[in-house]
Amino acid sequence: MIRYVLAALLTVAILGMAVIAIDATAVDNTESQLLSTASEIQAAAVDLAETEQTTPETHPNPSRVVEVTIPEASLTTVGVDHFEIEPLPEADASVVRYTLEDGTTGRELLDERIVYHEPTENRTTRVGTSGTQVLTLELRRDGSGDPVVVANPPPREAPGRVAAPVDVPEREATSVARPTVTVGYW
Cα–Cα distance, 146 to 6 (Å, whole number): 72
Query: What pLDDT score does 10 carry?
Result: 87
Residue 50 predicted with pLDDT over 60: yes
185, part of any domain: no
State the total domains in the chain: 1
184, part of any domain: no
Query: What pLDDT score does 155 carry?
Result: 60
C-beta of residue 141 within 8 angstroms of C-beta of residue 172: no
Residue 104 predicted with pLDDT over 90: yes
181, part of any domain: no
Task: Between 162 and 113, name the one with better pLDDT.
Answer: 113
Mean pLDDT (whole number) for 158-179: 41
Determine the structural domain holding residue 132 and report its residue range.
Answer: 2-175
Query: What pLDDT score does 172 carry?
Result: 42
Query: What pLDDT score does 130 carry?
Result: 87
pLDDT in tens, 17-29: 888 877 779 999 9
46, part of any domain: yes
Query: What pLDDT score does 115 carry?
Result: 96
Is 143 exposed, middle or buried (CB count within 10 Å of its CB: 0-12, 13-18, 19+)? exposed
Residue 85 predicted with pLDDT over 90: yes
31, part of any domain: yes
E strand intervals along 35-170: 63-70, 80-87, 94-100, 105-110, 114-116, 125-127, 131-141, 147-152
Helices H / strands E in the chain, number of each:
1, 8
Query: What pLDDT score does 32 carry?
Result: 95
Q: Kindly report the pTM of this predicted structure.
A: 0.76
45, part of any domain: yes
Q: Residues 90, 93, 99, 104: is their CA dihedral positive or negative?
A: negative
Query: What pLDDT score does 19 carry?
Result: 80
pLDDT in tens, 107-135: 999 999 999 999 999 999 998 778 888 99
